[in-house]
Structure 1
């Protein structure tokens, strides 16, 4: 049986780890750090014109929420990001509808016929300090002069700085950076905004042996 998320008594498929905290942003709330999610989606679809301003997760219709959950249960790529963007734009226009083609493509990932015991199961991702999963992100951050601190399973970084580079005109950089972010998420790390983080502070607060 597929593990499910219980949200107010409604069951949804588990989100793919590659979305990381961006999935929570899209599905549950809209914080002042939405620009990082916006930049991540832009980098996936190679379109810097997309904006999330005005999007509120609370305004998702039930059909849109179901479809969004189905899409977020898939790995982030150009196709899944395009559907997410379509949903966001409909919410911005206060249009409660969904695209029939997207529902046909992703709807089979929804399974609302879960056994009751599925609601009681809890999954705890065991995060290991896997330096190899951190290396691509840390190497890019060093190249871009972005201070990064790794504390337990959190990766502290300025999300403003990250968003700027996710919108770089250099397509290879955008691709490498969003792949590195997906790798972090998939390894169980959580990006956490740390404005004005300095290299000195990053060294002081990082776990020994990581930075």
Structure 2
């Protein structure tokens, strides 16, 4: 039984469609998408602007509901959940990394990682403190924990954002252009870090990117164009 549970996919999309707007302004963002993402995968989602990358990330993470089709997350359907239930799934099982970091500027690096753990209510304060320090250490910036985002470089801010995403110990991390706001050398260092975390923890990573660096090094690459999956390669 344990082996069967472990073999279940992290995420599965079945005939998923999503559109925005109405009448002549309607845009079909996703068209009958079928996708299975295994636990522990490191997946790069690639495609031009407007191809449907962000829509796909939003649907598979429960931010948006599809117009048709089924979204399964850890073998549970998200389609019938209310927003408060979806929010609970995201806060407990998903971590998010953004291109522009989205750190709170008046809080220290430590507090940017610590306070979401308290607000989510999944950990007591002492455990949350220990987790915040542990993950700041794991991304190499424990010594900068008392600094505010404005006192950190772009790469250091992204490391704080990664620590924040990981501290809740999610099953899946969704990243939207995590190296898009960084220079090439810093982006390479961040990619090295994400790959190491994936290997060390088995956390599933789904990363939307334009970066050829990430595309070249991801273990699975999916190409999307005009809302349809056009290529799926595993290395």
Please classify the TM superposition score into its range, dividing by the shorter chain length. under 0.3
TM-score, normalised via structure 2 length: 0.26
TM-score, normalised via structure 1 length: 0.28
Q: Which has the higher helix share?
A: 1
